[in-house]
């Protein structure tokens, strides 16, 4: 366990140096000492940036569920693996022990098999944050099926696009979900999606809200019924290190969402290692990440990372504002949470409310506070630090991406001194590089540029499902022999990193990555819309919100703008989901364009941010006159 658990700053620097100088032996030692393998690897790393191709622990054989469940049964069988806290505080929490989890995952895996699912098949999971969600992912992993979890807030169109892209044979859903005081008809959304998904042969329905739903004969079955006929023992499939474990979609700046493919062994090693170190998890701690398993944060730091460490991981079904704004802190008190990991958008929303909602509860169990998803602004950082951490608990601002699989830049709590709005130092094994406009690496400190990673790490996504060319173009074509993150960053005088935000057309709203192109495509489907452009502007809760510039066709010119805005948001909700709705819609006669016809979003962004004095030279535009009109009409 020598390298596994970092205890002080000196050790961090020593471990970090070691990981950079000898990456292969560094990861090999971690892999050897902390996991169970059916067969060891022949080669720690094979790396070819030109293809690009990365293989970690090639030749090794394993099953990730043996590492997350079976091996804990002897020493931790009666320990709570998943602690489920329901939406409604009056409903009892569920303590699912490692023994229970084992039985439920095995039984679920047998159901999948009975429905004809085999190794390599893709299974779509569209479930709310209930135990069945974690169990379904593990059941897929048990038999080598590739899970594709789709966040249950996505619309039917977004769901069907994702199902079809990876040709899923089955979808697992529920009869509905709770969200605060509301219920959502998930099964209805699935039915709608499946009208355009001919490849889906079966639908498994988990009962959650006991609503009466339509069940399609020969296609839909209740999981409960199927579980009656299966055993709760299911041998784990032997997987190759590089076999895909899951696909998770993330939006890009153009068109289709990208199905990021994660491998088995590398992903397991990296998420487990970073979980242990970034949260300083100790045996009896109760750890809570408030993310949804529909995002990478939930995959890596609710399910796989914690369970690989034999941890107790909390799953929360509800929302921070129900039944009131004290819900998070009530749960912290109730379950004596030790590590709490959330998003800046949640912090900002709670910081707007009365402090009584926090002060009412005993938060003394907390040891580590985490933040993820977007830059945490100083104001939110101080609120979190003062009111939740009582100025005694470190805040780990963790920077990473769906593509990186695990936390990349992050303070080690009680080891790395923290600084508001800084993600601080790279995790062992991570080699960041900042690049200038000419493609040269900026050496030394006090520099700012585009953030790349110049050496592979075990959980780097291996490809985009069905489109390796796009993987190459998006991440490996901007700079030679480097992974380009799409983010900008600066390195300060002591070498700390501060992430400055996206440098492409991705906008982060409440921690969700939204590509501008798919939203614009949706808006443009409105019969009255000629053209549109989306930019982000600062929002005190969401971090960024969406500002849409829309030009109308003749048919729309006489329409009421308020009604049109509503219809546009309706289309966006149908195509992408409510998270992509526009906060502001400005109707304009033209959009600023370059001579080659590209919309100059830079100018629109400045106007949306009310930075009219920073527009720069607009005289080279195809249509400079429209800029003045847009400024005059700005909201
Ligand atoms: C884990 C996750 C990735 C993008 C990333 C950044 C932004 C995430 C931070 C952050 C500043 C942070 N995956 N981002 N964490 N920016 N500080 N601590 O969020 O694929 O959904 O998003 O999120 O722009 O590229 S993600």
Q: Look at the block and give the residue holding tokens 């590590």.
A: 339
Domain boundaries, the chain: 2-489, 510-632
Strands (E), 212-327: 220-222, 239-240, 244-250, 258-263, 286-289, 312-316
Largest CA distance in the chain: 73
CATH 3.30.300.30 assigned to domain 510-632? The reply is yes
* Closest Cα to atom 4 of ligand 1: 401
Alpha carbons 547 and 518: distance in angstroms, whole number: 14
What topology does CATH give the domain 2-489? Rossmann fold (3.40.50)
**pLDDT at position 597:** 66
**Is any ligand 1 atom within 6 A of the Cβ of residue 487?**
yes
Alpha carbons 407 and 468: distance in angstroms, whole number: 24
Tell me if 534 sits within 8 A of 519, measured CB to CB: yes
Q: What's the CA-to-centroid distance between 454 and ligand 1, angstroms?
A: 18
Atom of ligand 1 nearest to the CA of 398: 18
- Return the best residue to mutate from 253, 345, 399 for the ligand 1 pocket (most ligand atoms within 8 A of CB): 399
Q: Is 284 exposed, middle or buried (0-12, 13-18, 19+ CB in 10 A)?
A: exposed
Q: Is 376 exposed, middle or buried (0-12, 13-18, 19+ CB in 10 A)?
A: buried
* Closest Cα to atom 12 of ligand 1: 399
Going by DSSP bridges, is the β-strand pair 512-515/506-509 parallel, antiparallel, or unpaired?
antiparallel
Q: Is 217 exposed, middle or buried (0-12, 13-18, 19+ CB in 10 A)?
A: exposed
Alpha carbons 473 and 468: distance in angstroms, whole number: 9
**Is any ligand 1 atom within 6 A of the Cβ of residue 398?**
yes
Alpha carbons 449 and 301: distance in angstroms, whole number: 29
Q: Look at the block and give the residue holding tokens 């075990």.
A: 458
**pLDDT at position 254:** 59
Q: Between the CA of residue 596 and those of 180, 414, 551, 600, 622, what are the distances in Å?
A: 49, 53, 19, 11, 8
Alpha carbons 258 and 253: distance in angstroms, whole number: 10
* Closest Cα to atom 5 of ligand 1: 401
Atom of ligand 1 nearest to the CA of 397: 18
Alpha carbons 246 and 123: distance in angstroms, whole number: 9
Q: What is residue 353's DSSP assignment?
A: S
Provide the token pair at 234.
């299911």
**pLDDT tens-place string over residues 370-400:** 999 988 888 899 999 999 999 999 999 999 9
- Return the best residue to mutate from 508, 543, 579 for the ligand 1 pocket (most ligand atoms within 8 A of CB): 508
- pTM > 0.85: yes or no: yes
**Is any ligand 1 atom within 6 A of the Cβ of residue 483?**
no
* Closest Cα to atom 22 of ligand 1: 401
**pLDDT tens-place string over residues 417-426:** 999 999 999 9
Q: Look at the block and give the residue holding tokens 């044979």.
A: 169
Alpha carbons 105 and 121: distance in angstroms, whole number: 18
**Is any ligand 1 atom within 6 A of the Cβ of residue 374?**
yes
**Is any ligand 1 atom within 6 A of the Cβ of residue 296?**
yes
Alpha carbons 459 and 225: distance in angstroms, whole number: 37
Alpha carbons 228 and 209: distance in angstroms, whole number: 20
Q: What's the CA-to-centroid distance between 507 and ligand 1, angstroms?
A: 11
Atom of ligand 1 nearest to the CA of 400: 1
**Helix (H) / strand (E) containing 170:** strand 170-174
* Closest Cα to atom 11 of ligand 1: 375
The low-confidence residues of the chain, meaning pLDDT below 70, are 1-4, 252-255, 595-598, 620
Alpha carbons 131 and 339: distance in angstroms, whole number: 20
Q: What is the full DSSP assignment across 419-444?
A: -TT--BSBPTT--EEEE-TTS-EE-S
Going by DSSP bridges, is the β-strand pair 441-442/447-453 parallel, antiparallel, or unpaired?
unpaired
**pLDDT at position 2:** 43
């Amino acid at each position: 366990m020598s390298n596994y658990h970092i205890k002080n700053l000196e050790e961090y620097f020593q471990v970090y140096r070691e990981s950079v100088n000898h990456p292969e032996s560094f990861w090999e030692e971690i892999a050897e000492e902390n996991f169970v393998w059916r067969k060891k690897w022949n080669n720690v790393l094979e790396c070819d940036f030109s293809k690009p191709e990365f293989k970690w622990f090639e030749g090794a054989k394993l099953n990730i569920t043996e590492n997350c469940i079976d091996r804990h049964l002897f020493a931790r069988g009666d320990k709570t693996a998943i602690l489920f806290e329901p939406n409604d505080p009056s409903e009892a929490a569920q303590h699912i022990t490692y023994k229970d989890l084992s039985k439920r995952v095995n039984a679920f895996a047998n159901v999948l098999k009975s429905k004809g699912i085999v190794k390599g098949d893709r299974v779509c999971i569209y479930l709310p944050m209930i135990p069945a969600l974690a169990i379904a992912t593990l059941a897929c992993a048990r038999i080598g099926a590739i899970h594709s979890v789709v966040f249950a807030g996505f619309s039917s169109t977004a769901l069907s696009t994702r199902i079809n892209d990876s040709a899923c044979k089955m979808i697992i859903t529920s009869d509905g979900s709770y969200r605060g005081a509301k219920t959502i008809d998930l099964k209805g959304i699935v039915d709608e999606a499946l009208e355009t998904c001919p490849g889906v042969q079966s639908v498994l329905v988990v009962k959650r809200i006991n609503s009466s739903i339509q069940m399609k004969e020969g296609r839909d079955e209740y999981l409960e019924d199927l579980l009656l006929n299966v055993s709760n023992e299911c041998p784990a499939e032997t997987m190759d290190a590089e076999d895909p474990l899951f696909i998770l979609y993330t939006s890009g700046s153009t068109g289709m969402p990208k199905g990021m493919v994660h491998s088995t062994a590398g992903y397991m090693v990296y998420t487990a290692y970073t979980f242990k170190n970034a949260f300083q998890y100790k045996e009896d701690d109760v750890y809570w990440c408030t993310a949804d398993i529909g995002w990478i944060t939930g995959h890596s730091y609710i399910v796989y990372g914690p369970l690989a460490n034999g941890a107790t991981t909390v799953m929360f079904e509800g929302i921070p504002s129900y039944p009131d704004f004290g819900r998070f802190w009530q749960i912290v008190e109730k379950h004596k949470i030790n590590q709490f990991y959330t998003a800046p958008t949640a912090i900002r929303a709670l910081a707007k409310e009365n402090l009584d909602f926090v002060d009412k509860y005993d938060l003394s169990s907390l040891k580590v506070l985490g933040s993820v998803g977007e830059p945490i602004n100083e104001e939110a950082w101080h609120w979190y630090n003062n009111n939740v951490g009582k100025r005694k608990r470190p805040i780990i601002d963790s920077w990473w991406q769906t593509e990186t699989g695990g936390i990349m830049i992050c303070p080690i709590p009680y080891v790395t001194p923290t600084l508001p709005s800084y993600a601080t130092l790279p995790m062992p094994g991570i080699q960041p590089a900042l690049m200038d406009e000419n493609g040269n690496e900026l050496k030394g400190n006090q520099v700012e540029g585009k953030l790349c990673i110049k050496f592979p790490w075990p959980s780097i996504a291996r490809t985009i499902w069905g489109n390796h060319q796009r993987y190459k173009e998006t991440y490996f074509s901007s700079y030679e022999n480097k992974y380009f993150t799409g983010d900008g960053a600066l390195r300060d005088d002591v070498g700390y990193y501060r992430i400055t935000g996206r440098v492409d057309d991705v906008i982060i709203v409440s921690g969700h990555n939204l590509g501008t192109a798919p939203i614009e495509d949706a808006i443009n489907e409105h019969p009255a819309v000629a053209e549109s452009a989306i930019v982000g502007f600062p929002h005190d809760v969401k971090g960024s919100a969406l500002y849409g510039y829309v030009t109308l066709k003749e048919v729309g010119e006489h329409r009421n703008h308020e009604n049109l805005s509503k219809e546009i948001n309706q289309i966006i909700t149908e195509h992408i989901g409510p998270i992509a709705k526009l906060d502001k819609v400005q109707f304009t006669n033209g959009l600023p364009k370059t001579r080659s016809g590209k919309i100059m979003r830079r100018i629109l962004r400045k106007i949306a941010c009310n930075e009219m004095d920073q527009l720069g030279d607009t005289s080279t535009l195809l249509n400079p006159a429209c800029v003045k009109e847009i400024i005059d009409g700005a909201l």
